[in-house]
Amino acid sequence: MDLDQLVMRFESLGDSCEFGLVQRQAGAEPLGLLRFAGFTVPAEQRLEVLIAALDRGFEGLGDPDTIEITAEGPPDHRELIVRERAYGLLYHTFLNPTDVDVAKLRQLESIRLRYLRRKLLADLASAEKIFVWKCNADIDVDGARRLLAALRRHGPVTLLWVCADPAFGAVGTVEHIEIGLLRGVIDRFAPYHAIADINHAGWFAVCAAALALAGSSDAQPAGSRTIIVSALRDLVRRAVDDPSLGGMRGVATLLPADTYTWSTPELRDDTFLDPNRQDELYAYDAATLQAHDDVLKVVLERALVASQGAVITQDGHLLRESCWEFLDGGLVPYGMERGADGTFRIVAAPARTVPEPALLLKRPWWLSYRHFLIDAASLLAFAATRLDLTRFRLVIGLTHDVKARQAILDLLTMLAPGATVLEQPDNEIWRFADLHYITPVHVPPLCKVPAALAALRTRAYEAIGSHVADPPRPRLLMLPEPGEQPYLDNHAEIVALCAEFGFVLIAPEQLSMADRIALFRDANSVLGVRSPQFANIAFCRPGTPVIALAPGDWPDPFYAELAGQSGLSYVEIFGPPLSRDAGPSQNPFRIEPEALRRVLTKVFASDAPRAAPVMQPVVSPQSEEIIFERFLPVVAYPEHRGDIYLSVLAELHRRLRPRTYVEIGTQQGQALALARCIAVAVDPHLPLQESVLRGKPELHLFRMTGDTFFSRHDLMRTLGGAVSLAFLDGPMLHYDRILRDFIHLERCSSQHTMVVIHDVVPLDVYMACRDRLDDFRRFRTKRLDWWTGDVWKIIVVLEKYRPDLVIDVLDAAPTGIALVQNLSPDSTTLSDQFDQIVREVAAWPDEAAAFAAYRAQLRLRPTADLDTILAERERRRQHAP
**Choices 116-124, 134-142, 153-161, 685-693; region in contact with other proteins by CB under 8 A:** 116-124
Beta strands across the sheet bearing 79-84: 38-39, 89-92, 79-84, 67-72
Q: Which stretch binds other proteins (CB under 8 A): 46-54, 203-211, 323-331, 412-420?
A: 412-420
The smaller minimum CB distance to other proteins, of residues 204 and 501, is found at: 204
- Residue 8 interacts with other proteins (CB under 8 A): yes or no: yes
User: Which of 7/757 has CB closer to other proteins?
Assistant: 7
Give the Cα-Cα-Cα angle 207, 213, 218 (nearest 5 degrees). Answer: 85
Regarding beta strands 158-163 and 174-178, do their DSSP bridges make them parallel or antiparallel, or are they unpaired? unpaired
For the bound state, the minimum distance from the C-beta of residue 432 to other proteins, rounded and expressed in Å, comes to 14
Q: Which of 41, 52, 108, 693 binds other proteins (CB under 8 A)?
A: 108
Q: Give strand ranges (E) for 234-316.
A: 248-255, 258-261, 267-269, 289-292, 295-306, 310-312
φ, ψ at 191 (rounded to 5°)? -60, 150
- Classify strands 749-758 and 723-728 as parallel, antiparallel or unpaired: parallel
Minimum separation from the CB atom of position 415 to other proteins (A): 9
Closest to other proteins by CB, 303 or 354: 354
Q: Which CB atom, from 108 or from 201, has the smaller least distance to other proteins?
A: 108
Residue 109 or residue 746: which is nearer to other proteins going by CB? 109
Contact between 879 and other proteins per CB under 8 A: no
Contact call for residue 83 and other proteins (CB under 8 A): no
Is the CB of residue 663 less than 8 Å from the CB of residue 669? Answer: no
| In the complex, least distance from residue 154 CB atom to other proteins, rounded to whole angstroms | 14
What letter would DSSP give residue 197? -
Site string for other proteins, 580-619 (x = CB under 8 A): ----------------------------------------
Nearest to 831 by CA among 754, 740, 716: 740
Calculate Rg over the CA atoms of the chain.
34
Q: Which is nearer to other proteins, 263 or 413 (CB)?
A: 413
Point out which residues pair with 727 in neighbouring strands.
663, 756
Regarding 351 and contact with other proteins (CB under 8 A), the answer is no
Q: Is 406 in the site for other proteins (CB under 8 A)?
A: yes
Size of residue set near other proteins by CB under 8 A? 37
Give me the numbers of helices (H) and strands (E) for the chain, helices first please: 27, 37
Give the relative orientation of helices 645-656 and 866-879 as an angle to the nearest 10 degrees.
40
Among 123, 301, 321, 489, binds other proteins (CB under 8 A): 123
Interacting residue with other proteins among 15, 84, 128, 572 (CB under 8 A): 128
Distance in angstroms between the alpha carbons of the first and the last residue of the chain:
75
Closest CA to 406 of 310, 480, 558, 508: 508
Provide the minimum distance between the beta carbon of 744 and other proteins in the complex, in angstroms, as a whole number.
50
Nearest Cα residue to 163 out of 136, 200, 181: 136
Binding other proteins (rule: CB under 8 A), the pick from 402, 608, 773, 880 is: 402
Question: Which among 119-127, 135-143, 606-614, 670-678 is the span making contact with other proteins, rule CB under 8 A?
Answer: 119-127
Quick one: which H or E segment has residue 7?
Answer: helix 3-7
Task: State which of residues 42, 330, 418, 638 lies at the interface with other proteins (CB under 8 A).
Answer: 418
- Helix (H, G, I), strand (E, B), or coil: what is residue 80? strand
- Closest among 594, 596, 744 to 662, alpha carbons compared: 744
8 A C-beta contact, residue 770 and residue 790: yes
For the bound state, the minimum distance from the C-beta of residue 34 to other proteins, rounded and expressed in Å, comes to 13
Choose among 500, 546, 506, 497: nearest CA to 526: 546
What is the spatial distance between Cα 142 and Cα 637, in angstroms, rounded to a whole number?
13
Q: Are strands 569-575 and 545-551 parallel, antiparallel or unpaired?
A: parallel
Q: Say whether residue 412 binds other proteins (CB under 8 A).
A: yes
Q: 793-801 and 847-857 helices cross at what angle (nearest 10)?
A: 70
Nearer CB in complex with other proteins: 516/758: 516
Binding other proteins by CB under 8 A: which of 48, 423, 556, 847? 423
Q: Are 485 and 586 in contact (CB under 8 A)?
A: yes
Query: Which region, left, alpha or beta, applies to residue 237 given φ > 0 means left and ψ of -120 to 50 means alpha?
Result: alpha
Which one of 230-238, 326-334, 392-400, 541-549 is the stretch in contact with other proteins (CB under 8 A)?
392-400
Contact between 391 and other proteins by CB under 8 A: the answer reads no
Q: Which residues of 395-431 are buried (b: 16+ CB within 10 A; e: fewer)?
A: bbbebeeeebeebbebbbebbbeebeebebebebbbb
Region of residue 525 (phi > 0: left; psi between -120 and 50: alpha; otherwise: beta): beta
- Residues β-bridged to residue 354: 432
Among 44, 64, 70, 115, binds other proteins (CB under 8 A): 115
- Per rule CB under 8 A, is residue 380 in the interface with other proteins? no
Q: How far is the CB of 412 from other proteins (least distance, A)?
A: 5
Using rule CB under 8 A, residue 693 touches other proteins: no
Q: Tell me how far apart the alpha carbons of residues 23 and 376 are, in angstroms, rounded to a whole number.
A: 46
Judged by beta carbon, residue 119 or residue 778, the one nearer other proteins is: 119
Torsion of CA 78, 80, 81, 85, to 10 degrees: 140
Find the binder of other proteins among 153, 345, 405, 734 (CB under 8 A): 405
Instruction: Select from 229-237, 411-419, 658-666, 767-775 the region that touches other proteins (CB under 8 A).
Output: 411-419
Q: Based on CB atoms, which residue is closest to other proteins, 353 or 485?
A: 353
Q: Within positions 25 to 44, which residues make up the interface with other proteins, using CB under 8 A?
A: 29-31
Positions in 166-185 near other proteins (CB under 8 A): none
Partners of residue 488 on adjacent β-strands: 589
Question: Which of residues 195, 421, 504, 743 is near other proteins by CB under 8 A?
Answer: 421
The dihedral through the CA atoms of 249, 255, 256, 262 has a sign that is negative
Stretch that binds other proteins, among 122-130, 307-315, 732-740, 770-778 (CB under 8 A): 122-130
Q: Which of 161, 183, 250, 221 is nearest to 437 (CA)?
A: 250
Greatest CA span in the chain, whole angstroms?
108
Identify which of residues 353 and 827 has a Cβ nearer to other proteins in the complex: 353
> In 3D, which of 284, 281, 293, 278 has the Cα closest to residue 262?
284
Cβ 62 to other proteins, closest distance in Å? 11
Of the candidate residues 291, 398, 626, 864, the single one contacting other proteins (CB under 8 A) = 398
Among 83, 106, 119, 176, binds other proteins (CB under 8 A): 119
Round to whole Å and give the CA distance between 430 and 427. Answer: 10
CB 97, min distance to other proteins, A: 16
Supply the minimum distance, in Å, between the C-beta of residue 19 and other proteins. 15
Q: Which of 46, 129, 134, 268 binds other proteins (CB under 8 A)?
A: 129
Interface with other proteins (CB under 8 A), residue from 1, 141, 331, 409? 409
CB of 394 to other proteins, least distance (A): 8
Q: How many CA atoms lie within 13 A of 516 on its CB side?
A: 24
Report the residue number, 9 or 780, with the smaller CB distance to other proteins: 9
State the nearest-atom distance from the C-beta of 472 to other proteins, in Å. Answer: 23
> Please, which residue, 353 or 822, has the CB nearer to other proteins?
353
Give the Cα separation of 466 and 419 in Å (integer). 24
Candidate residues 292, 393, 793, 855; the one interacting with other proteins per rule CB under 8 A = 393
Q: How far apart are CA 408 and CA 450, in angstroms?
A: 21
CB of 422 to other proteins, least distance (A): 6
- Residue 275 or 418: the one with the smaller Cβ distance to other proteins is 418
Residues contributing to the site for other proteins (CB under 8 A): 8, 29-31, 93-94, 108, 111-112, 114-116, 119, 122-123, 126, 128-129, 353, 393-394, 398, 400, 402, 405-406, 409, 412-413, 416-423
